[in-house]
Amino acid sequence: MADDNTSMPAAKKAKCESGDVQEARKDFTGFVVDKVLNEVVQSKAIFVQGHFKGSDEPAVVILEKTAFDRDTLGDMLSSRMELQRIMQNDIYDVYNGYPPQNLNGISTRIIYPATERHIMKYTSQQVYLIEETAADYQNITLPSITSRAFSIQWVYNILDKKAEADRILYEDEDPEIGYLLAPDMKWDQTQIDNLHIDAICHKRNIKSIRDLTEGHLPLLQNIKEKGTEFICEKYGLTKNHLRVFLHYQPSYYHLHVHFTHINFDAPGSRVGQAHLLSDVIDNIQLQHDYYQKKTMTFTVREKDPLFQKFREAGKV
């Protein structure tokens, strides 16, 4: 599963939010690193567990070096970029370069207070492939989603314009087939090559692909057609540039569709997790209850409660 319904009660959250913490969240003053949960060298990302000064609650911090921005490259090289020479040989020079601060950002995500599930999610661990029959879904997955899934409060905050309102790119307000488009939290919007936009549907009772039937075709087609059209026009792309897919299992059980640039090899676009929206539509058109009957194969991390449930049931 990619992300967490174990949200912290508001009262407890407010208690953690002491003045010290609010200050520290601005620049990490007094932040204590407790543990490196994972490190992905290829994407130059590190996942850290720590705590803010004045709080007993854990925080997860994700730091990721961002891609170069072609638009500011000229500025970076022509401004005072400090160079420390590492070696020089004939025509070959190697340096550590230190660009000015405003051109040297690191994507920084903070989850605070982090639940045990967040810590587990970002901890390096073995991944397994599970074949989930329709009966497994009813007996194992569904009860697990109901009791243990990550909170989808952030999704409702976007839909209710309580958060990220200024980031909404497009909205169709229809309660049945409507949705909004917003940049995924992981996309810094500086490059088109790693474009990642999510379509979040207004309807609130569709947990995942498993719930989709022919009654949802107008919604899915609306996302596919209008969403693609909007993104292509805004970013100067054609529909052939876009990989449009849903996750199974998703991290958050409120139906949403990912739009990513085809050049972007997002970890979540792998077999065992991503299902192309066009295939989903086609499958439902071929058989209306396709996703209620199909055995779904997905990847799951060892420490994920869902994996534990499949193991307890003797399925792994």
Residues that bind ligand G7M (CB under 6 A): 2-3, 154, 164, 182, 184-186, 198, 247, 250-252, 268
Backbone dihedral region for residue 233 (phi beyond 0: left; psi -120 to 50: alpha; all else: beta): alpha
Q: How far is the CB of 92 from ligand G7M (least distance, A)?
A: 40
Catalytic site residues?
256
Looking at the Cβ atoms of 81 and 110, the one nearer to ligand G7M is: 110
Looking at the Cβ atoms of 248 and 310, the one nearer to ligand G7M is: 248
Q: Which amino acid belongs to residue 301? A: R
Looking at the Cβ atoms of 133 and 153, the one nearer to ligand G7M is: 153
Q: How far is the CB of 299 from ligand G7M (least distance, A)?
A: 11
Which residue, 259, 192, 265, is CA-closest to 225? 259
Looking at the Cβ atoms of 168 and 232, the one nearer to ligand G7M is: 168
Q: How far is the CB of 17 from ligand G7M (least distance, A)?
A: 18
Looking at the Cβ atoms of 177 and 180, the one nearer to ligand G7M is: 180
Minimal CB distance residue for ligand G7M: 2
Measured between alpha carbons, how far is 100 from 83 in angstroms, rounded to an integer?
Answer: 11
> Alpha helix (H) ranges present in 28-121?
70-78, 116-121
Measured between alpha carbons, how far is 166 from 202 in angstroms, rounded to an integer?
Answer: 18
Looking at the Cβ atoms of 57 and 64, the one nearer to ligand G7M is: 64
Rounded to a whole number, what is the distance in angstroms from the first to the last CA of the chain?
A: 16
Measured between alpha carbons, how far is 225 from 149 in angstroms, rounded to an integer?
Answer: 30
Q: How far is the CB of 208 from ligand G7M (least distance, A)?
A: 9
Residue with tokens 């007993």: 56
Q: How far is the CB of 131 from ligand G7M (least distance, A)?
A: 19
Measured between alpha carbons, how far is 246 from 110 in angstroms, rounded to an integer?
Answer: 25
Residue 286 is inside which H or E element, if any?
helix 277-286
**CA-CA-CA-CA torsion sign (256, 262, 268, 274):** positive
For every residue of 82-97, DSSP letters joined together read EEEEEEEETTEEEEEE
Q: Which two tokens stand for residue 162?
A: 């309580």
Q: How far is the CB of 29 from ligand G7M (least distance, A)?
A: 24
Residue 259 is inside which H or E element, if any?
strand 256-261
